[in-house]
Amino acid sequence: MTRLVLLGPPGAGKGTQAKLLSDRLGVPAISTGDIFRANVAEGTDLGRTVQEYLNAGKYVPDAVTNQMVRERLAQPDAAEGFILDGYPRTTDQVRELDDMLADVGAKLEHVLEIAADTDELVRRLAKRAVEQGRSDDTEEVIRTRQQVYAEQTAPLVEVYSDRGLLRSVDGLGDIPEVTSRLVSALGLQTA
């Protein structure tokens, strides 16, 4: 069983690595960003609310995100484990996740931080915006998201480090290199 959180600033490669680790570990990768974008694309009420926050480079309110994650973790494919990408983002969300897991008699096992230079992340996200046509990835919004991460999410590094769960890996390099570092940080054999 693997219950894992991936931390890292926007553009660090969490989504890519979550999918690769999901395949390797046999547990679902759960991305709040993907769930948000699906709701935006479908034009749901949640999607319209989310779009306003994304366009401003801000986080979606905890109440909305917490409920969405709680519902997703209750699905059968997450019973044996999961990889969370994009959640938790605040210390309040850490407490909420602790409560969600306690409700089912489970606990978080690993937290991996993907660390990367801010200027490199801005370059990555600007390139992704062009390739994917993402309106939430203008340079101004990207820099705002980096600042919000530093203020709200970076403190989670300390919380999980204090719990002895955190392993930090260098997120710069090609995708297989970073994957190999993450697999090693989990104590698994690299392929």
Across the beta sheet with 110-115, the strand order is 29-31, 81-85, 2-7, 110-115, 166-170
Residue 67 lies in a domain: yes
User: What is the pLDDT at residue 98?
Assistant: 96
Buried b (16+ CB within 10 A) or exposed e, 127-152: eebeeeeeebbeeebbeebbebbeeb
**CATH number of residue 27's parent domain:** 3.40.50.300
Q: Residue 164: how many CA atoms within 13 Å on its side-chain side?
A: 0
For 165, the domain range is: 2-185
For residues 138-152, average pLDDT: 84
User: What is the pLDDT at residue 57?
Assistant: 73
Q: What is the band of 143 on the pLDDT scale with cuts at 50, 70, 90?
A: confident
Q: Is 16 marked as binding a ligand?
A: yes
Q: Where are the alpha helices (DSSP H) in the chain?
A: 14-25, 32-42, 45-55, 62-73, 91-103, 118-132, 139-148, 155-162, 175-185
Q: Is 143 marked as binding a ligand?
A: no
Count of the separate structural domains present in the chain: 1
User: What is the pLDDT at residue 191?
Assistant: 54
Q: Is 32 marked as binding a ligand?
A: yes
Residue 16 lies in a domain: yes
Cβ count within 10 A of residue 75: 11
Residue 133 lies in a domain: yes
Shortest CA distance to 173 belongs to which of 120, 102, 129? 120
Q: What is the pLDDT of residues 56-95, one digit of tens each?
A: 877 788 888 888 888 889 889 999 899 999 899 889 999 9
Residue 124 lies in a domain: yes
Regarding pTM above 0.85, the answer is no
Q: What is the pLDDT of residues 92-142, one digit of tens each?
A: 999 999 999 999 889 999 999 999 888 888 888 888 888 887 766 778 888
Residues identified as active-site: 14, 89, 128, 134, 145
Residue 190 lies in a domain: no
Residue 18 lies in a domain: yes
Q: Is 58 marked as binding a ligand?
A: yes
Residue 191 lies in a domain: no
What are the residues whose beta carbons fall under 8 Å from the beta carbon of 125, sequence distance 6 or more? Answer: 10, 11, 137, 142
